């Protein structure tokens, strides 16, 4: 049967388009099933074996697609429950990236300014905490100073990070005590000093502006729009574990502190739990790439990833590693070590562990080994990542 020339041309063009878009060795992104990559699994298992880590969850994305997602080891060593990608882990300080993104969303929506003063008349929190009159350094702290850890207060070099002191205090009692008794020795913007207190205060700003609890704003306004449903706040005790949350295992002196951290009070600085795929959903929603719709505008992402003038390696709840062309964040608490990386080449990785090497015994080799593993996963072009999307 002879086909009209125009119809024959359409068929040829369709075949050419299909052949350009998909090859026989690239599974359909909507139906492809993950094939495990032994060399990747061996590297994760080696890290766990070397440093006595019971369980881990890994998620890897390439150009906006979740191309690898796998659990390793035990979620609970007593019951032999195996880790799956659906298991949730304490994120520790990776929570700060969520807080930074939440503040940027409020700014983007016109509800807040990064350069707004935090305390005093006209400040976002005004006189909600502590007793006025406030000193000049406290009065000059802005929202941006908090997120960049340049408030001049409450870090190791500026009086000590006291986030875990008085664990029975409410947020109100804690911040009253901090503002009334802890020094503000440096002018804001003049010194970088990492502090959990900065992000605790940022969490209260989110609550005041949004009218929601911190965790509900994160759930409703940050995670739900990107299809992430497994982010929540951590409980303090083992009995307060959430559904599909792993158990945590302290090594050495850490064993005494795994289940007595001041959760859920440590929400905005280190209190969130999530799966590795949900963490990577957030990373992909703020990565600035065109391959997946971002939650934040380019201007908001620029603000999120712009460091202070006094420290070029930390922006607004996110680390900047210029030499490696990536953004990142790490979290560490007794029984927990977490991290993510976003590379300029379009690769992103999230790795969550339910233990860490004992800091008192020297954890640097462990920290470097975990970092090197994530670097390898985003930089090594030899891995046969499939053309699938498991988000």
| Residue 22 predicted with pLDDT over 70 | no
Contacts 24+ apart (CB under 8 A), 104-108: 104/296, 104/300, 104/301, 104/303, 104/304, 104/316, 105/221, 105/222, 105/295, 105/296, 105/300, 106/206, 106/209, 106/210, 107/300, 107/303, 108/296, 108/297, 108/299, 108/300
Contacts of 243 (CB under 8 A, 6+ apart): none
List, in sequence order, the alpha helices (H) in 182-307: 196-210, 214-217, 267-270, 276-285, 298-304
pLDDT tens digits, 278-302: 999 999 999 999 999 999 999 999 9
- Cβ count within 10 A of residue 374: 22
Q: Cβ-count burial of 136 within 10 angstroms (0-12 exposed, 13-18 middle, 19+ buried)? A: exposed
Give whole-number Cα distances, 5 to 13, 15, 16, 98, in Å. Answer: 12, 16, 17, 57
The pTM is what? 0.92
Q: What is the pLDDT of residue 90?
A: 98
C-alpha–C-alpha distance, residues 19 and 261, integer Å? 56
Report pLDDT digits (tens) over 90-124. Answer: 999 999 999 999 999 999 999 999 999 999 999 99
Two structure tokens written together for 137:
């350094």
The domains of the chain are located at: 28-379
Name every residue whose Cβ is closer than 8 Å to that of residue 200 and which is 6 or more positions away in sequence: 163, 171, 174, 175, 266, 267, 268, 269
Q: 88: which DSSP letter?
A: B
Label residue 11 by pLDDT band (50, 70, 90).
very low
Q: In what order do the strands lie in the sheet with 89-90?
A: 89-90, 272-274, 232-233
Enumerate the β-bridge partners of residue 81: 76
Is pLDDT above 90 for 20? no
The contacts of residue 362 (CB under 8 Å, 6+ apart) are: none
φ, ψ for residue 387, nearest 5 deg = -85, 65
Cβ 67 vs Cβ 390: under 8 Å: yes
Rg (CA), the chain: 23
Residue 31 pLDDT class (50, 70, 90 cuts): low
23 pLDDT above the threshold of 90: no
- CATH number corresponding to 28-379: 3.40.710.10
Q: Considering the chain, what percentage of its residues have pLDDT values greater than 70?
A: 92
Inform me whether the pLDDT recorded for 13 exceeds 50. Answer: no
Which strand (E) or helix (H) includes residue 105? helix 95-108
Can you tell me the mean pLDDT for 323-352?
A: 98
Compute the distance between CA of residue 202 and CA of residue 263 in angstroms, rounded to an integer. Answer: 17
| Mean pLDDT for all residues in the chain | 93
Residue closest to 45 by CA, chosen among 58, 62, 59, 61: 58
Predicted pLDDT of residue 32: 81
User: What does the block give as tokens for 329?
Assistant: 């964040």
């Amino acid at each position: 049967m002879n086909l009209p020339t125009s119809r024959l041309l359409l068929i040829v063009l369709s075949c050419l388009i299909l052949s350009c878009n998909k090859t026989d060795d690239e599974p359909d992104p909507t139906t492809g099933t993950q094939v495990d990559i032994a060399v990747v699994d061996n590297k994760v298992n080696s890290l766990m074996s070397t440093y006595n880590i019971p369980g881990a969850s890994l998620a890897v994305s390439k150009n906006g697609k979740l191309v690898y997602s796998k659990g390793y080891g035990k979620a609970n060593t007593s019951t032999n429950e195996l880790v799956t990608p659906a298991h949730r882990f304490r994120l520790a300080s990776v929570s700060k990236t969520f807080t930074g993104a939440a503040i940027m969303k409020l700014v983007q929506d016109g509800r807040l300014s990064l350069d707004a003063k935090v305390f005093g008349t006209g400040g976002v929190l005004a006189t909600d905490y502590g007793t006025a009159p406030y000193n000049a350094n406290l009065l000059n702290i802005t929202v941006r100073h908090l997120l960049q850890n340049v408030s001049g207060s409450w870090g190791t070099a500026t009086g000590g990070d006291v986030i875990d002191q008085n664990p029975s205090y409410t947020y109100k009692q804690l911040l009253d005590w901090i503002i009334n008794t802890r020094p503000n020795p440096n002018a804001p913007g003049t010194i970088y000093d990492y502090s959990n207190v900065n992000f605790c205060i940022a969490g209260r700003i989110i609550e005041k502006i949004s009218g929601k609890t911190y965790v509900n704003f994160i759930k409703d306004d940050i995670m739900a729009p990107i299809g992430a449903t497994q982010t929540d706040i951590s409980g303090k005790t083992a009995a307060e574990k959430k559904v599909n949350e792993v158990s945590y295992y302290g090594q050495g002196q850490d064993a005494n502190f795994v289940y007595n951290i001041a959760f859920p009070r440590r929400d905005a600085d280190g209190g969130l739990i999530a799966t590795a795929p949900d963490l990577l959903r957030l990373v992909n929603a703020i990565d600035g790439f065109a391959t997946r719709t971002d939650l934040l505008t380019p201007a908001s992402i620029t603000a999120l990833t712009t460091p202070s003038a006094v420290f070029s390696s930390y922006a607004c709840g996110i680390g900047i590693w210029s030499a490696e062309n990536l953004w990142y964040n790490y979290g560490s608490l007794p029984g927990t070590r977490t991290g993510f990386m976003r590379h300029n080449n379009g690769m992103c990785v999230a790795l969550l562990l339910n233990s860490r090497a004992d800091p008192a015994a020297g954890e640097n080799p462990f920290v470097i080994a975990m970092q090197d593993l994530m670097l390898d996963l985003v930089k090594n072009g030899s891995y046969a990542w499939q053309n699938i999307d498991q988000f």
